[in-house]
Amino acid sequence: MRYDEIINKEDARLKERRRKMFGDESAEKLKDNRFGIALSGGGIRSATINLGLLKTLNRFGILKKSDYLSTVSGGGYTGSYIQATLKNEGSYDALFRDEHIDYMRSRGEYLFPGTGLRKLWNQFVLIVSYLTSLLMSFVSPLIIILFLTGIWMFIDESFDSDTTAVGEDISWFIKYGGLTVLGILAVHYFLNVLFNFDLDVSSWFSKAETAVVGVVLVIIAWFYFSNIHRMEVPGLDTIIPYLGFGLLLAILGFFTNPNSTSFHRFYRKQLS
């Protein structure tokens, strides 16, 4: 769908909303007095300030006249409360009730709410949950490490580098080519930290890393195919176990969604 088509559909919905709430005249003036409210980020502090701002605007009947409510980060906490309450209650009069404010105020420390022993228990739950999520997050890099280890073992077993010059040369290219890439990655990492706001650093290094990997792969492929007549083709008894192991890791990779295994789930639940 094109940009102008999206805007036209959005305008139609806004006019429909205005017509229901304020009549035909307000709907027809949309292009003349389009009105939105933007809430900035900043965690709980932002959410608190935005809550007070919108509560005041609602008291004077201004909030309901807003066509848009745009939020980011901490402002989204308050924006979510507005949207959820309006959806459930269907009235701006239901917003900012004392019980709503008291509920949010008592849970300001949303990661470990409560007082006394309850708060202490929730702090302990937070620590254990974080450590558990951290352990589960290690599954993704572990899959990559196992996958690369499997490739290396397959090459080492298929082209015995201890007994054949060809296998030794291939192993040499892979070893030192890999070390070269890792060296560039290390320099890339430290320069990213040192020049935090310089976007050209990552751009340049990404191209350099790609070039080095490409050259190494081309050399290995050329050397392999030019010497393939001197090598023994790996048998099925060698290939099948590695293929099965690689397939198993690939399938496992589909279940390592960081939104499911990281601390994100705990954080999201406490926030909601």
Phi, psi (deg, nearest 5) at residue 55:
-60, -40
pTM summary value: 0.52
Residues in a beta bridge with 69: 37
Predicted local distance difference test score (pLDDT) of residue 217:
76
Predicted local distance difference test score (pLDDT) of residue 169:
63
- Sign of the alpha-carbon torsion through 39, 78, 108, 43: negative
Phi, psi (deg, nearest 5) at residue 43:
65, -150
* Helical packing angle, 264-271 and 116-137, nearest 10°: 150
pLDDT tens digits for range 72-128: 988 998 999 999 999 999 899 999 999 988 887 777 777 888 788 988 998 999 899
Predicted local distance difference test score (pLDDT) of residue 195:
82
Which residues lie below 8 Å from residue 58, measured CB to CB, with a gap of 6+?
64, 92, 95, 96
Please tell me the distance from the alpha carbon of residue 38 to that of residue 54, in angstroms, as a whole number: 11
C-alpha distance from residue 69 to each of 24, 64, 194 (Å): 22, 10, 38
Predicted local distance difference test score (pLDDT) of residue 26:
92
Q: Where are the alpha helices (DSSP H) in the chain?
A: 3-22, 24-28, 43-59, 74-89, 98-106, 116-137, 139-158, 165-194, 199-226, 236-253, 258-261, 264-271
Q: Where are the alpha helices (DSSP H) in 29-138?
A: 43-59, 74-89, 98-106, 116-137
Q: Which residues of the chain, if any, have pLDDT below 50?
A: 161-163
Whether residue 70 contacts residue 36, with contact meaning beta carbons closer than 8 Å, is answered with yes
Q: Residues 218-232, buried b or exposed e (16+ Cβ, 10 A)?
A: eebeeebeebeeeee
Predicted local distance difference test score (pLDDT) of residue 229:
62
Please tell me the distance from the alpha carbon of residue 244 to that of residue 250, in angstroms, as a whole number: 10
Predicted local distance difference test score (pLDDT) of residue 165:
56
C-alpha distance from residue 1 to each of 6, 68, 79, 265 (Å): 7, 21, 28, 33
Which residues lie below 8 Å from residue 103, measured CB to CB, with a gap of 6+?
none
Which residues lie below 8 Å from residue 101, measured CB to CB, with a gap of 6+?
51
